[in-house]
Amino acid sequence: MNPAGIEVKNVSMSYQSESSEVLAVKEVSLSIGKGEFVSLLGPSGCGKTTLLRMMADLLTPTNGSIEIAGQSTRQARLSQKYGIVFQNPTLYDWRKVKDNITLPLELKKVPKAERERKALELLELVGLEKFKDKYPWQLSGGMQQRIAIARALAMEPEILLMDEPFSALDEFSRERLNEELLAIWKKTNSTVVFVTHSISESVFLSDRVFVLSPHPGRLSAVVDITLPRPRTKEMRNSPEFYKLITQIRDSFEGS
């Protein structure tokens, strides 16, 4: 495995309900290389968020193993190998935008001058340097999510885990943020694992799409995205784009 990638080996995850055991993810194996942008795609309830949370050491697999950059998920979390962006921005409304970004650096006891420099650098990266002294509640949903991405990048993670970060946005904002995310990814060289239930979003963003079929979640296909980079909005109307959407749609098992 690439030392800065992710290796998922025969992973299953079960939950215990009051009356029975529920199998959420079944025997998933996949490899993600350094610097790749991959999507975990599937309908609601297919286990894609569960799989991401196991990668993030927020859940422990019932069976199998996961390695992050050559380490266990616990070691990777403690050594801050990755940043996480959730579906909701989870920003602190009483902290200014720049202070939300510096929070992980404060916890790490990074000197104030260095924190301030890093915050301004990240704000420029996500195009929000003019809003550094605003509060999150003064910003739009898309702007808040860009702040959450900036905060996740504050510790310069090798891997960025993203759980449907744009699902609550309107289609116009979502497509614009897709383009901005790719620009950020190109500058940071991070490995990105992106959870989505949008086929078109996964095609536009990814190098590869891991298709999970419903319940229990299992890997039904791996689709290579052959669109050239950099991606442009014109590609969304190309025959190749629609061909890939059809290929992915046809790969679902049991849907």
Q: Are residues 71 and 175 in the same domain?
A: yes
Q: Are residues 124 and 72 in the same domain?
A: no
Q: Are residues 27 and 115 in the same domain?
A: no
Q: Domain of 43: which CATH number?
A: 3.40.50.300
Q: Are residues 188 and 198 in the same domain?
A: yes
Q: Is residue 143 part of a domain?
A: yes
Strand order in the sheet with 191-196: 82-85, 159-163, 191-196, 37-41, 208-213, 218-224
pLDDT means over runs of 10, the chain (255 residues): 77 83 90 95 89 95 92 90 88 93 89 91 90 94 91 89 89 89 91 94 97 88 96 95 95 69
Q: Are residues 218 and 116 in the same domain?
A: no
pLDDT of residue 59: 94
**Measured distance CA(234)–CA(240) in Å, rounded:** 11
pLDDT of residue 3: 54
Q: Is residue 1 part of a domain?
A: no
Q: What domain range is 43 assigned to? A: 6-81+158-251
**Domain end marker among 122, 156, 190:** 156
**Domain end marker among 101, 132, 156:** 156
Token digits for 82? 């990755």
Q: Are residues 73 and 172 in the same domain?
A: yes
**Domain end marker among 125, 156, 187:** 156
Q: Are residues 124 and 143 in the same domain?
A: yes
Can you list the positions of beta strands (E) in the chain? 6-16, 21-32, 37-41, 63-68, 71-72, 82-85, 159-163, 191-196, 208-213, 218-224
Q: Are residues 50 and 105 in the same domain?
A: no
pTM for this entry: 0.90
Q: Are residues 181 and 246 in the same domain?
A: yes
Q: Which of 140, 219, 141, 235 is nearest to 182 (CA)?
A: 235
Q: Are residues 171 and 64 in the same domain?
A: yes
Q: Is residue 86 part of a domain?
A: no
